[in-house]
Amino acid sequence: MKYENFSAKKLQICVFFCNFAPKMENLYRHLYHWYEINHRILPWRETEDPYAIWLSEIILQQTRVAQGMEYYMRFLNRWPTVEDLAKADEAEVLREWQGLGYYSRARNLHKAAKMIGSSFPKTFEELRALPGVGDYTAGAIASFAYNLPYPAMDGNVYRVVARLLDIDEAFDTSAGKKLFHQKIEELLDREHPRLFNSAIMEFGALHCTPALGDACMTCPLQECCLGYAHGTAEVLPVRKPRPKVRDRWFTYHVYLCGDETLIRRREEKDIWYHLYEFPCEEGQTEDKYPFTHVLSHQKLHARFIVHNVQKMPDIAGTICIRWDELNDYALSRLTLRALDTMQHKA
């Protein structure tokens, strides 16, 4: 071995792991004790029904728990089993999803329900093969529903692991993912994977949060935490530099003729595929764009111009509907916000 290639940091991690094995019991004990006292009562953590767990995991991707809860209850009430969801129309599913954003999640949910049929997949590999299910979601369902020993690495877990082990490799690169995956495999409590995954996720969500404040002072894992010991916890985890955000400008035309209006379905392979909106043109002008809507890699600027007309214009691809029928169509969040503003002004 070339000693110059063996960095001080690697040595520390190695020493940590050498000494860590006997301390693992302590880590689990402190973590589980913390979890028992502090965890939130979340309906998807109180069930072992793989369908309900899957639903919650898909809804909670890029969605806050408070908002996700409402959608989770609504979906389960409307489609209590995976067979029920498979029988629904895609348009109904999108309509129910309205307001959550990232509609590909809803389309994949529906597609997967159709593939599943009556028997929910029971292995990690079968779960991973479903559309919209990556390593994290497959690990979450496998451990929460079947108590199988797979990690579930969400953003909270990446953060806790980066700090506990003082890992300064960016977690969102392929090399970083591989390293973190290897570390969580070493940390995972194989006897109690359901409890371990629930506890470490909740610990990241509630205690070892992005803004640490004085959390380390009261932390039950402090004695096992390299990030705390080295004073690096605050700057971890490390991300790769974000891609440049693309700005786009949209002008929407809201035609009103009596109680009717025009809408169109987005058919382009672009944002909001298969959602409905008012006729629209894209491109920047000198005018003001009062609405801003931020997506992961795009910043949208929009304005809505109301035209009171005697006769509807003939615009290709649009349909004429009554204003009060707008609720029956899946609309983008931006359009919903604009409608909300218009209704407040009316």
Give the distance from CA 252 to its chain's centroid. Answer: 29
- Nearer residue to ligand SF4 within complex by CB, 160 or 262: 160
C-alpha 68/C-alpha 59 separation (Å) is 6
Stretch that binds ligand SF4, among 90-98, 103-111, 211-219, 337-345 (CB under 6 A): 211-219
* Nearest distance, CB of residue 32 and ligand SF4, angstroms: 15
- Nearer residue to ligand SF4 within complex by CB, 205 or 212: 212
Asked if 228 interacts with ligand SF4 (CB under 6 A), we say yes
Stretch that binds ligand SF4, among 118-126, 177-185, 225-233, 293-301 (CB under 6 A): 225-233
Position among 153, 216, 331, 334 found at the interface with ligand SF4 (CB under 6 A): 216
* Nearest distance, CB of residue 140 and ligand SF4, angstroms: 21
Question: What percent helix, strand, coil does the chain show, rounded to 5?
Answer: 50, 15, 35
Position among 116, 138, 152, 219 found at the interface with ligand SF4 (CB under 6 A): 219
The angle, 0 to 180 degrees and rounded to 10, between the axes of the packed helices 155-165 and 193-206 is 90
- By C-alpha distance, which of 324, 346, 336 is closest to 276? 336
Contacts of 7 (CB under 8 A, 6+ apart): none
Count of residues near ligand SF4 by CB under 6 A = 15
Stretch that binds ligand SF4, among 81-89, 124-132, 135-143, 215-223 (CB under 6 A): 215-223
Asked if 201 interacts with ligand SF4 (CB under 6 A), we say no
C-alpha 264/C-alpha 253 separation (Å) is 11
- Nearer residue to ligand SF4 within complex by CB, 206 or 339: 206
Find the binding residues for ligand SF4 in span 144-183 (CB under 6 A): 160, 163-164
- Nearer residue to ligand SF4 within complex by CB, 94 or 216: 216
Asked if 76 interacts with ligand SF4 (CB under 6 A), we say no
Position among 233, 263, 271, 334 found at the interface with ligand SF4 (CB under 6 A): 233
C-alpha 303/C-alpha 287 separation (Å) is 9
Active site residue 57: yes
The CA-to-CA distance between both ends of the chain, in Å, stands at 75
Asked if 208 interacts with ligand SF4 (CB under 6 A), we say yes
Cα Dmax for the chain: 83
Residue 320 bridge partners (DSSP): 262
C-alpha 127/C-alpha 129 separation (Å) is 5
CA dihedral 155, 157, 158, 162 (to 10 degrees): 140
Position among 121, 227, 237, 279 found at the interface with ligand SF4 (CB under 6 A): 227
Contacts of 149 (CB under 8 A, 6+ apart): 143, 188, 190, 193
- Nearer residue to ligand SF4 within complex by CB, 223 or 281: 223
Of the listed 25, 48, 57, 125, which one is catalytic? Answer: 57
- By C-alpha distance, which of 72, 55, 35, 81 is closest to 194? 35
Q: Which residues are catalytic?
A: 57
- Contact residues for ligand SF4, defined by CB under 6 A: 160, 163-164, 207-208, 212, 215-216, 219, 221-222, 225, 227-228, 233
